[in-house]
Amino acid sequence: MASSTPSERKARRVTDYPFVLDYRTRWNDNDMYDHMNNSVYNFLFDSAVNAYLMEHCSLHPPNSAQHPLVAHTSTDFFASVAYPAVAEVGVRVAKLGRSSVTYEVAVFERGVDAVRAVGSFVHVFVERATGRPHPDGMAPELRRGLERLLVRDDGKVPAKI
């Protein structure tokens, strides 16, 4: 799937994401400007992606032979979220490589149609023992689980998980 433009990302709806994790914002998520601090968005991206990996890809962080390393993140911010909102964090896969995956992760505010932020989040799966990607790429169960989130070349979004 080709990368999207900022205007395409700004048009996203929660239905564009097959996996959605709810997050009840906390008082301390807000910063002095009375909105959720930018660092919390990365926390949400990481939490939603790893929840999916554990629930649907057989990843067990303390002892899986392969584990993900974050290689890149970027975020387009369109509007703020603030306590006491409930954030809905959507996850889909934009690109699936041999040992890497590019997720598109979005933050919505429950009850509001417009997306608040859309991020690109890249994981490289490495062997626990070596810290390097396996010569054959990621484990088959990881790949199968991630394929369930992969947006097709025609832009069709997979079914909700």
State residue 114's pLDDT score: 95
pLDDT at residue 1 tops 90: no
For 35, residues 6+ apart whose C-beta sits below 8 A from its C-beta are 80, 81, 82
- Which whole number is the average pLDDT over 44-56? 97
pLDDT digits (tens, 9 = 90+) for 60-79: 999 999 999 999 999 999 99
Residue 118 near residue 104, CB atoms below 8 Å: yes
Longest dimension (CA), the chain: 48
Global confidence as pTM: 0.93
